[in-house]
């Protein structure tokens, strides 16, 4: 499974990249707003830190404008994936941009029918939003499983399932169990994935016993 980080904070990306666990980055207009810097600068900087796909989202809502914005964003770096909303205009723009050879991430996916359309439009990635479905008392993880089953039913559907709107470490585990190809995870959750009290307690005990033994390896 691949890990993307869901942030436009360059310092956080730099520090996570050092773990060797980072396969890509996703941003959206809200995250760019939080970064408080020009989008083109932020995306260029991120694309220089991470070799994998860096999603940059268009803000136009009509196909022609989406294509124009998508092409502009794709010019920033070869690893930019153009992010488009799951609308008819977005899907038409997806066809055009993938025909150009660009990666496309279709976002705001909330049903398996929508995911089927995204794959038929040739999207590189589809982003089902787990947390926002859970917020409504629905089952975000069921959506991941449904999409996985549908895509596996048809060899021609090659779109990768990018689990998004992840709010907990458990979401990451369940997305992996459900067959998501990628999880895009907020930095704080990605950092937390390693934590387990028994690991910490076990390490403390080993170190205390080693000290008592009076030995040294080097
Ligand atoms: O980038 C899309 C997605 O991950 C948003 O997450 O927490 O705003 O629902 P959230």
Residues with Cβ within 8 Å of 208's Cβ and at least 6 positions away in sequence, in order, are none
pLDDT the model gives residue 151: 98
Instruction: Please name which of 82, 25, 81 lies closest in space to residue 49, comparing C-alpha atoms.
Output: 25
Question: What is the SS3 assignment for 53?
Answer: coil
Counting ligand 1 atoms within 8 A of each CB, the residue from 110, 144, 164 with the most, and so the one to mutate, is: 164
Percent of the chain, pLDDT > 90? 100
Spell out the alpha helix ranges (H) of 100-216. 112-120, 130-135, 140-153, 169-177, 187-192, 197-213
| pLDDT score at 72 | 98
**Residue 14: left if φ>0, alpha if ψ -120 to 50, beta else—which one?**
alpha
Assign 32 to helix, strand or coil. Answer: helix
Q: Kindly report the pTM of this predicted structure.
A: 0.96
Distance 153 CA to ligand 1 centre (A): 28
Tokens describing residue 1: 């499974």
The SS3 assignment for 83 reads strand
Tell me if the domain spanning 2-213 has CATH number 3.10.310.30. Answer: no
Q: What burial letters (b/e) apply to 10-45, b meaning 16+ CB within 10 Å? A: bebbeebbeeeebbbbbbbeebbeebeeebeebbeb
Q: How do residues 192-208 score in pLDDT, each as one tens digit?
A: 999 999 999 999 999 99
Instruction: Tell which atom from ligand 1 comes closest to the C-alpha of 28.
Output: 1
pLDDT tens profile 22-66: 999 999 999 999 999 999 999 999 999 999 999 999 999 999 999
User: In this structure, are residues 164 and 184 in contact, taking their beta carbons and an 8 Å threshold?
Assistant: yes
Strands (E), the chain: 2-6, 24-26, 54-57, 80-85, 103-109, 125-128, 160-163, 182-185
pLDDT of residue 12: 97
Q: Whose CA is closest to atom 4 on ligand 1?
A: 165
Enumerate residues 6+ apart whose C-beta is below 8 A from 110: 86, 128, 129, 132, 133, 143
List residues near ligand 1 (CB under 6 A).
6, 26, 28, 129, 131-132, 164-165, 184
């Amino acid at each position: 499974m691949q890990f993307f980080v869901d942030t436009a904070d360059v310092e956080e990306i730099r520090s996570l990249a050092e773990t060797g666990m980072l396969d890509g980055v996703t941003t959206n207009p809200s995250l760019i707003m939080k970064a408080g810097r020009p989008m083109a600068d932020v995306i260029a900087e991120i694309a220089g830190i991470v070799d994998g796909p860096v999603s940059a989202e268009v803000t136009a809502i009509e196909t022609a404008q989406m294509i124009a914005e998508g092409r502009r964003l794709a010019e920033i770096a070869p690893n930019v994936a153009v992010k488009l909303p799951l609308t008819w205009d977005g899907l038409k723009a997806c066809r055009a941009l993938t025909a150009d050879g660009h990666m496309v991430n279709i976002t705001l996916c909330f049903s398996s029918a929508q995911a089927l359309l995204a794959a038929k439009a040739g999207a590189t990635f589809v982003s089902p939003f787990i947390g926002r479905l859970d917020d409504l008392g629905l089952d975000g993880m069921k959506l991941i499983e449904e999409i996985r089953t549908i895509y596996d039913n048809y060899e021609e559907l090659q779109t990768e399932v990018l689990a998004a709107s992840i709010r907990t470490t458990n979401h990451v585990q369940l997305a992996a169990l459900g067959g998501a190809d990628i999880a895009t995870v907020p930095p704080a959750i990605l950092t937390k994935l390693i934590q387990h009290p028994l690991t910490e307690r076990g390490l403390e005990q080993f170190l205390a016993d080693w000290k008592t033994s009076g030995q040294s390896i080097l």
